[in-house]
């Protein structure tokens, strides 16, 4: 609220708002310059300033919250190309950043004095297949911009990778860190490219590039952005809302999954590691693997009359080429990666978060009917 009220009303006009006691009111301060200076003064100078691209997606909002708890509210700049809801604007800095606009990215890096980037902007697997030219632009050209920017300004860079970076020729159970990678989606091809070119920039220019290959991520308060593992989020909502769910994968399709808290903590821990702890630049990390059938059984413990039906669509072909389980022994050995959530704990935390919401909805529907 402090930042919003401080910035309110500043449109290049005289203002007497957040000028400290010794300063004179500022005449004709350009709004943006004021905004940036204000934020800089609020930052914790002992901590890095982190820019999160694509931060309004499934992962960005939670990561911003976690990093702000650790580094301070104004040290974490959220960005995206879509309008943010009020609660995001109230929580801390949020700005427009299109990863396809290199000059815009340079300006942000200089003006906000960015030290690290967490690069989340992407079109995910299923959405990417629906618009390959756009996926190439966002996932490949956009990555080039972020990489070049990070190299020019010596920023630390985190780019998430995925189970989708593997394909039908990779060993699937388990999939090691270093193996054949011949993915069949534009999403996967772009991620392999990101891993390789990031490692190349590290060897060639000393760029501090870091990447983790994530399983499908499950969260209760943000929605997935069009991936092949989205069913593992939708099932909880539909179990509570409709007591049934039609799954777009076959019942025995095993995929690796992870609860969002493990995912976000892994990013923070991995980014904070001293460089000499890293023996590789890209690591697999694993938490749990399950099939739709196994998850449906676990859901029934909370919603006994829940029924799952199956109607595979184009996402089945993608899932059939992906790892069933990651071998993450190197992450566990090199930097002590540990997951905290298995299937049972996942169900517990998802239902704890979602039940009150759906109970309230059902109560209000019932009262409007009566
Ligand atoms: N969610 C998962 O299960 C999962 C698993 C493995 C890896 N990842 C990776 O983590 C990252 C974040 O995933 P997510 O689930 O939050 O994605 P998401 O689809 O929910 O969000 C992506 C965000 O990118 C933004 N974006 C699109 N075009 C842009 C542009 N030109 N400039 C700036 N931003 C743009 C979108 O507006 C969106 O908010 C992605 O790189 C994804 O590949 C996600």
Residue 218 CA: nearest ligand 1 atom is 3
* Best residue for ligand 1 mutational test, from 124, 211, 258 (most atoms within 8 Å of Cβ): 124
The whole-number pLDDT of residue 366 equals 65
- Centre of ligand 1 from the C-alpha of residue 33, in Å: 29
Tell me whether strands 216-218 and 244-247 are parallel, antiparallel or unpaired.
unpaired
**Catalytic-role residue among 71, 94, 112, 187:** 187
- Centre of ligand 1 from the C-alpha of residue 120, in Å: 5
Phi-psi region at 54: left, alpha or beta (left = phi > 0; alpha = psi -120 to 50): left
79 CB-side CA count, 13 A: 23
Give pLDDT tens digits for 264-306: 999 999 999 999 999 999 999 999 999 999 999 999 999 999 9
> CA-to-CA distance for 278 and 15, rounded, in angstroms?
49
Alpha helices in 54-141 (DSSP H): 60-71, 86-91, 102-111, 125-130, 132-136
**Ligand 1 neighbour 127 (Cβ under 6 A):** no
- Centre of ligand 1 from the C-alpha of residue 260, in Å: 14
Instruction: Kindly provide the b/e burial profile for residues 181-196, where b requires at least 16 CB atoms within 10 angstroms of the residue's own CB.
Output: bebbbbbbbbbbebbe
> CA-to-CA distance for 348 and 340, rounded, in angstroms?
13
**Ligand 1 neighbour 218 (Cβ under 6 A):** no
**Minimal-distance CA residue to ligand 1 atom 25:** 54
What is the CB neighbour count within 10 angstroms for residue 298?
Answer: 17
Residue 24's pLDDT band, with cuts at 50, 70 and 90, is very low
Q: Is 187 a catalytic residue?
A: yes
pTM over 0.95: no
Q: 73 vs 21, 62, 78, 131, 211, CA distance in Å?
A: 23, 13, 11, 36, 24
Give pLDDT tens digits for 194-208: 999 999 999 999 999
Q: Is the pLDDT of residue 16 over 60?
A: no
């Amino acid at each position: 609220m402090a930042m919003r009220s401080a910035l309110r009303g500043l449109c290049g006009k005289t203002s007497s708002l957040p000028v400290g006691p010794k300063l004179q009111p500022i005449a004709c301060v350009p709004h943006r310059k004021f905004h940036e200076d204000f934020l800089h003064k609020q930052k914790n100078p002992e901590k890095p300033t982190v820019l999160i691209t694509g931060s309004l997606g499934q992962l960005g909002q939670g990561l911003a919250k976690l990093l702000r708890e650790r580094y301070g509210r104004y040290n974490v700049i959220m960005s995206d190309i879509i309008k943010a809801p009020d609660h995001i604007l109230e929580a801390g800095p949020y700005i427009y950043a299109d990863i396809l606009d290199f000059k815009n990215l340079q300006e942000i890096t200089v003006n906000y004095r960015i030290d690290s980037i967490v690069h989340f902007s992407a079109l995910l697997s299923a959405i990417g297949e629906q618009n390959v030219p756009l996926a190439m632009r966002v996932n490949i050209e956009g990555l080039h911009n972020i990489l070049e920017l990070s190299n020019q300004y010596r920023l630390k860079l985190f780019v998430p990778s995925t189970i989708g970076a593997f394909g039908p020729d990779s060993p699937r159970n388990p999939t090691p860190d270093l193996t054949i990678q011949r993915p069949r989606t534009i999403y996967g091809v772009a991620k392999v490219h990101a891993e390789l070119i990031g490692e190349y920039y590290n060897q060639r220019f000393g760029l501090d590039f870091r990447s983790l290959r994530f399983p499908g991520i499950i969260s209760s308060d943000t929605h997935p952005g069009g991936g092949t593992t989205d069913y593992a989020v939708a099932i909880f909502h539909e179990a509570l809302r409709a007591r049934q769910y039609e799954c777009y994968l076959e019942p025995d399709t095993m995929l690796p999954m992870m609860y969002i808290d493990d995912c976000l903590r892994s990013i923070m821990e991995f980014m904070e590691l001293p460089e000499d702890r890293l023996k590789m630049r890209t690591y697999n990390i694993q938490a749990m693997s399950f099939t739709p059938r196994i998850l449906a059984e676990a859901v029934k413990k909370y919603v006994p009359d829940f029924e799952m039906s199956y109607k595979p669509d184009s996402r089945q072909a993608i899932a059939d080429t992906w790892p069933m389980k990651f071998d993450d022994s190197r992450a566990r050995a090199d930097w002590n990666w540990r997951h905290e959530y298995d299937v049972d704990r996942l169900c517990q935390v998802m239902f704890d978060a979602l039940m009150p919401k759906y109970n309230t909805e059902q109560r209000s529907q019932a009262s409007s009917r009566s």
